[in-house]
Chain A
Amino acid sequence: MARSRRTARTSAGVAGLSMALIAACGGGDGATGGSGEFDVLIHVENTDVPAVLETLAGGACAAESEAAPVTVETVPQTNLDQQLQLLAGQDGLPVLYAAGNAPALTQTLAESGHVLDFEQALSELDAIEHIQPAAVSTIEALYGGFNALPLEYNIEGIWYNTALFDEHGVSVPATWDDLVAAAKTFAEAGVVPFSASGDQGWPITRLIGNYIFRSIGPDALQRVADGEAELTDPEYVEAAQAVADLGEAGYFGRGVGSIDMDTSTNEFLNGNAAMYYMGSWALSDFADEERNAIGAENIAFMPFPDVAGGAGHSGQLAANVGLPLTMNDRKYDDDASAWLSCIAENYGSTALEERSRISGFAVNTPVDDVPPLAQQVQEQIEATDETVLWFEALFSTEATITSQTNAAPLVTGSISAEEFMRLVQDDLD
C-alpha cells in the first residue's frame, strides 16, 4: 500500500523464468544447492517480519536456518524504492525483500526478472494451500500476478466508537447518505465526525476510492488503468466532490492538513472523533491500553457503506497486503525454496500469536486468546469472497504522490474536485 513519502519524522525497488532449472544456478554462486545465506531487505518501519522470522529460525524453521541463517538489512521506507532501484540495477537484490512502496515498481522489477512467480514456486512445493484465496486475489489484482507474499493481510473500513454512536442516538449507516447524516449529527454535537490524517493524504483518498467502487463498481479503477475511463468523467468527479463536501462541512475537524498519522489515531482513541477509516493493522493501536482511552470493547468495524443506486455493494471489502515482501527469482535456490516452504506453513500462526498480526497465510497451529476485534476481522476476511483495492493501487508512482499530496487541499477547499481529478489524471496520461 502506498504510504507516506515524508522523511522520517520526521520526519523520509524487481519474471517468470522456470525456476526449477534455474534454482541450481540461482545466485550465480556456481552449482551449489544453496548460497548458505538467507538475506532479507526490509523497511525499518516494519518490525513484525524480522521478529517473526527470528522466531521461526529458532523454532519451526530451525533446519532451514541452520543451512542458511537469516540476515536482515533495513532501510527507511522513504528510501526503499531508491535502494531497490539501485540494487536491482547492479543485480544486487537479496533473496527476500520488501517489494517497494509503488506497485508499479514491483511490476518493473518483475518484468526484469527480479521477482519470483509464487504461483509456480508454491505449487511445486505443495504449499499453495497455505495461502488464503482472498489474499491471492488481492495480490493478483494489484500486481497482475502472484508476485508478492502476503505477510500481512488487512481489510479496510470504518472503525467507529460505539459509545458515541449510542450516546448521540446514531445507528450504523447503511448508505453514504446515512453516513453524511450521521456526521452532521456528530458535528452539531461538537464531536469530530471523522478523524483522518491529511498530512499522509491516503486516509482521505481511500474514501474517494471506496466511493468509486460503491457507485461505479469494483472494476471502476481498472477501467481507468486500461484507459477506458478517465478520472475526470463526471461519475468519478462525483466521488471526489462527495469527499470534498465532507471537508467543506468541517467533518474532518480543524487543521486536517496538518494532522499526522499518530494524531489521527489518537483523536479516535481519545473519544474526540466518532469514526476513523483505517486498515486492520490499526488493531495493534487499539490493543494498546496505554493509548486506547475508549477501550477496545467500544470499537466496532463497518465496511464502507453503499452508495444509493451504485453498482457496487458493501460486501466487496477493501483489502491490501500492506507493504509486501517478495523473493528474488535470480537468487531462488534450494535454501531459499526450503525457507519459502517453511514460511508458507508456519508464518500465519506465528505472526498471529506473537504480534497479533493477521496475514494472508493459513493459521495452521491454532492460536489461543485472539483479541475479540482481531477475531471479528478474521471472520470478516473468511466471509469475504470479493475484495476491492484502493484509489491509487493501479496508479503510477507519480499519480499516487499527486493524489495523496492533494488530498488535504481537496478537503480544505484549496482545489476543486475537478481540479483534483484533473491533476491525477494528467499524471496517469
Chain B
Amino acid sequence: MEHVLGDKRSVAILVGPALLVYTLVMLVPIIWSLGYTAFEGNAVTGFSFVGMDNLTQLAGDRKVREALGFTLRYAAVITVGQVLLGYGLALLYVFVLRRYSSVVRTLVFFPIVLPTVAVALLFQQMFAIAPRDGLVNSFLNVFGIESVDWFGSGGTSFLVIAIMDIWRSMGFYGVLLYAGLVDIPEEVLESARVDGTRGWKLVRHIVLPLSLPVLVSAIIFSINGTLKVFDSILALTGGGPGTATTPLTIHMFQTSFAYGQYGYGSSIAFLLTLLCLIVTVFIFRASRRDLTKG
C-alpha cells in the first residue's frame, strides 16, 4: 500500500507551504533567539559574547528557581482542573443534556472569549477586601468567616488565579472534548448498554478509551498553554505579592525587555521550551503506546 499513499510530490505540495511559513516565521527566529543565549546585552547596547555564562548563572539563580517552581505548580493544578472539568462538561452535554446542550455549551464556552484584562478586573473586584469587601468576602461573612485578604499572600493569590483560569477555560475544553465524544458511534454505546454497562462503568470502560486521542491532545494542549501562562497572571496579580505568583514567562519577559538582559531572557525561554518539550514528548509517547494497544 505504501506506493499509493507515498507519492513524494504530493507530500511536498501538502506539507511544503505550512512548513515553509512555520520555518521562516517561527523556527528561524527561535534559533536566532537561541543564539542570544551565548550573549549578553540588548538591542540598544548591542550584544557581547559570554559563552556559557548565562546557562551557568541560570543554574544558581534563586528567582528563576522560584519562577520555575510556580510554573510547575500552576501547570499541574490548572491542567488537571481544566481537563477534568472540561471532560465532565462534555459528558454532561453528550449523555445528560444531549440535543438540548447547545445553549449551555455556548454559555459555558463563552468566558474564554472575554478579554483577559476584563476577566482579571472582574476577579479582582470579586475577591476584593479593600476599600470594601467584594462578593466573596461578603459571602464568607454571612457564614461568620472573617474576610480574607486574597491578594495579600502567595497561597491565596494562587487560589484566585486557579479559580479564574479554570472558570475561563473549562467551557472551552468542554467543547473541545465534546467534539471527540460526539464521534463515538452510537452502536458501540448501545451494545454496551445491552450488556448492562451503565453510568460510571460505561464511561470508564467504553467512553474513556474511545475518546482517548482527543483527550490526549487536550492534555498536551492544556499543559503547553499553562506552562506558558502570561496574560492572565500579569493582569490579575502582576506576579505579586512580591514575586510569589511570577511564572517563568513573566520573569523572562521582564528580564529581556524591562531589565534589558536579552541574552539571559533567552536562556530562561530556552529552559521553558525544554520543559514543555520533555512534558509533551512524555505524554505523546504514553498516548501512542496506548493507541497501538487500543
Interface residues in chain A, defined as those with a beta carbon under 8 Å from any beta carbon in chain B: 4-14, 81-82, 85-86, 88-90, 101-102, 104-105, 108-109, 111-112, 114, 199, 253-259, 263, 266-267, 272, 396-398, 401-402, 405-406, 408-409, 412, 414-415, 423
Contact = CB atoms under 8 A, between A and B. Distances in A.
- For chain B, which range describes its interface: under 10, 10 to 19, 20 to 34, or 35 or more residues? 35 or more
A272 B235 contact: no
Interface string B224-250: 000000010011001111110000000
Contact of B239 (A85, A114, A405): A405
B257 A408 contact: no
| Most chain B CB atoms below 10 A, which of A108, A253, A405, A414 | A405
Contacts of A406: 241-242
Contacts of B235: 6-7, 9-12
Contacts of A13: 44
A9 B121 contact: yes
A196 to B, nearest CB: 11
15 contacts: A5-B238, A5-B254, A7-B235, A10-B121, A11-B117, A14-B44, A81-B257, A108-B42, A108-B44, A108-B45, A112-B46, A258-B151, A263-B131, A397-B259, A412-B152
A406 B239 CA distance: 11
A169 B128 CA distance: 33
Given A86-B43, A414-B242, A398 B130 contact: no
Interface in B245-270: 254-255, 257-260
B192 to A, nearest CB: 49
A412 B152 CA distance: 8
A101 B20 CA distance: 39
Interface of B: 42-46, 117-118, 120-121, 124, 128-131, 147, 149-153, 231, 234-235, 238-243, 254-255, 257-260
Contacts of B153: 414
A85 B240 contact: no
Nearest to B149: A255
Contacts of A255: 128-130, 147, 149, 152
Contacts of A81: 257-258
B258 A5 contact: yes
Contacts of B241: 257, 405-406, 408-409, 412, 414
Contacts of A111: 45
Nearest to B119: A10
A405 B243 contact: yes
A258 B260 contact: no
A422 to B, nearest CB: 11
Contacts of B130: 253-256, 258-259, 263
Contacts of B131: 259, 263, 266-267, 272
Contacts of B129: 254-255, 258
